[in-house]
Structure 1
Amino acid sequence: MATPTTWDGLSPRHHAALELAQLGFRVFPLNGKLPILKGYQNEATRDPNKINWWWYQMPFSNIGGMVFNGHIVVDIDPRNGGDDTWQELNEGCDLPTTLTARTSRGGRHLWFKLPYNLPVRGKAGPGIDLKNSRQLTVLPGSIHPTTGEAYRWETMTPIAMLPDHLIRTVFRASWNPKKRARTFVGKEDRALLRTLTGAREGERNNLLFWVGCRVYEKGLNLDEDLLEVALDIGLDLPEIEGTLESARHAVLGGSR
């Protein structure tokens, strides 16, 4: 069977790969949904010469892309309850318009910027996978190997910041004082954060304020560590940011 081509002799997926690279995606060829290249994470590229070399040889290849650094793709699969899960996660909250792809089976890939450099969960609930910057996603222009239907853009708009109400859903509770010890100056500083991990409901905010004051008095750069621990113990993002701002102001006054 002849390979479908456009007027310039390139296959539609070859064209799509070049266009995606121009949009900033680092692409590589897929066999269906699986990477063809060993070490595809490092091979992924925006170089049109490399893309041409791949797709001249493999014009039927689908297009994979690495998730951008500092971003996440929310992969919603309605066949496994993803639409219901997404509705529950966003009930009563405003969801910003963001870059969104539609899969061939009615699923969606929503792209978001991440506000913090913290570990990300693998799942947000039934039918929703979370893909971070070490993972691939199938990009529009690809054809589903079973249905023969195309992946396409549903919303071509700038990527939005992850909304506050999804912070606890996306970021993983993973603070480990030994693993993160390289961040701290000494044992006393690790002990401060251990104190916060043991906070009981009703005292968490006050304890976060106290620990924040001690951290700012010492001039330590532990904001991300404080945020991660505070999320782990059940505080919400606006509450955390307000408390840390109060602690910063109490110690440093109006300076940042």
Structure 2
Amino acid sequence: MATIDRQTPTLALAHALSAAERGLPVFPLSATKLPALRSPHHGEQPPVHCRGECGLPGHGVHDATTDPAAVRALFAAAPRATGYGIACGRVPHRLIGIDLDVDTTCGNDSAGALRQLALQHLFTIPPTVTVLTPSGGRHLWLTGPADVTVANSASRLAPGIDIRGSGGYLVGPGSVTAHGRYRLAPGTAHLTPAPCPRALLRLLTPPPHTPRTHGTGGGRGRRGEGLIQFVLAAHEGQRNTRLFWAACRAYEHGFGDALADELTAAAVRTGLPEHEARAAIASAARLTSGRGGEPL
């Protein structure tokens, strides 16, 4: 675990400025990997859905900038920042983050799953910037074309493979979190983000879902029932992961809010505390909607 001391904020700013010089929009993060600046609309009723139009800092990924003076101002307003986020989907790089997670409790082999996808769909991941995470996972940095928008997703491609695109962000190398330091993988520091292979890009941008409208409840009930059963089948050590995956799928298909209570009840039946279940579902809602961005 990395040590957080008085020099950590200074180093975080230095790393952020270096990234901004390379055209990567950045903003300060706390040791929890969340935006370090509190929303200026905190506590306002009704909730304000502002993405920085008010001109004040504190809008998470929407604060991200490449302007050195603006970066310094953001970090000056967040003196306890220990890292920085890099906004995905923004010009000039239009960054796409491929997160290969490590989850020994569920036996996920995300790197192996990506290799299998590459074999099935005939693409290779080119040499590119790779960031090692404190948990033992890795982030692959790719770039997307101007006419394609890649959405955030969690385990949609395969278990343990998360995607950060428009509205999401990556934790930048050099950042220090409560669990350790993010660092560039050996041999990748000199690289620039490589273009995303076209076959992989097609997997990341599936055709829009068209919900069924015929019959009672359309197709939503059947899909919802399958997700509920998926959660109910969870064993100890899988409960939170299965619930989060199911909630992400429900929100991606447009009926997450309608299914939230049933998903919560199913998770509670497996032994997961209700507050943990609702927190996992809320996290899935934020991730799939891009509200305020989510970290990698």
Q: Same fold (TM over 0.5)?
A: yes
- Structure 1 gaps of 5+ residues are 177-256
* Cα 1:18–1:52 shift into 2, 3 Å: same
CA deviation digits over 1:98-120, x for unaligned, max 9? 22211122211112222452554
Aligned length: 171
Paired position in structure 2 for 1:34:
34
How far apart in 2 are the matches of 1:73 and 1:127? 13
Paired position in structure 1 for 2:182:
151
* Cα 1:26–1:164 shift into 2, 3 Å: closer
CA deviation digits over 1:71-103, x for unaligned, max 9? 411111022432221221123743211222111
Paired position in structure 1 for 2:218:
none
1:140 to 165, 168, 173: 173
Quick check: 1:94 aligned with 2:124?
yes
Quick check: 1:43 aligned with 2:76?
no
Shift of 1:124: 1.7
User: Within 5 A, what are the aligned runs for 1:68-217?
Assistant: 68-69=89-90, 70-79=94-103, 80-91=108-119, 93-115=123-145, 116-118=147-149, 120=151, 122=153, 123-146=156-179, 148=180, 150-154=181-185, 155-156=188-189, 157-174=191-208
User: Greater Rg, structure 1 or structure 2?
Assistant: 1
Paired position in structure 2 for 1:196:
none
Instruction: Give 3-state SS (helix, strand or coil) of 2:27's partner.
Output: strand
Quick check: 1:24 aligned with 2:23?
yes
Instruction: Give 3-state SS (helix, strand or coil) of 2:167's partner.
Output: coil
Quick check: 1:53 aligned with 2:53?
no
- What is the identity, as a one-letter code, of the residue corresponding to 2:68? P
Is residue 149–residue 165 contact of structure 2 (8 Å, CA) maintained in 1?
A: no
* Cα 1:33–1:167 shift into 2, 3 Å: same
How far apart in 2 are the matches of 1:24 and 1:168? 26
- Structure 2 gaps of 5+ residues are 40-58, 211-296
Is residue 68–residue 133 contact of structure 1 (8 Å, CA) maintained in 2?
A: yes
How far apart in 1 are the matches of 2:17 and 2:172? 12
- What is the identity, as a one-letter code, of the residue corresponding to 1:151? Y
* Cα 1:50–1:90 shift into 2, 3 Å: same
Shift of 1:129: 0.6
Instruction: Give 3-state SS (helix, strand or coil) of 2:19's partner.
Output: helix
Shift of 1:121: 6.2
The runs of at least 4 aligned residues of structure 1 exceeding 6 Å deviation read none
Is residue 99–residue 140 contact of structure 2 (8 Å, CA) maintained in 1?
A: yes
Is residue 17–residue 63 contact of structure 1 (8 Å, CA) maintained in 2?
A: yes
CA deviation digits over 1:153-174, x for unaligned, max 9? 2223122222233234211231
Quick check: 1:66 aligned with 2:87?
yes
- What is the identity, as a one-letter code, of the residue corresponding to 1:76? L
- What is the identity, as a one-letter code, of the residue corresponding to 1:117? V
How far apart in 2 are the matches of 1:51 and 1:167? 31
CA deviation digits over 1:202-242, x for unaligned, max 9? xxxxxxxxxxxxxxxxxxxxxxxxxxxxxxxxxxxxxxxxx
How far apart in 1 are the matches of 2:63 and 2:194? 27
Shift of 1:144: 2.7
- What is the identity, as a one-letter code, of the residue corresponding to 2:66? R
How far apart in 1 are the matches of 2:127 and 2:150? 24
- What is the identity, as a one-letter code, of the residue corresponding to 2:82? S
Q: Which has the higher contact order (CA 8 A, sep 6+)?
A: 2
How far apart in 1 are the matches of 2:23 and 2:149? 24
How far apart in 1 are the matches of 2:123 and 2:17? 37
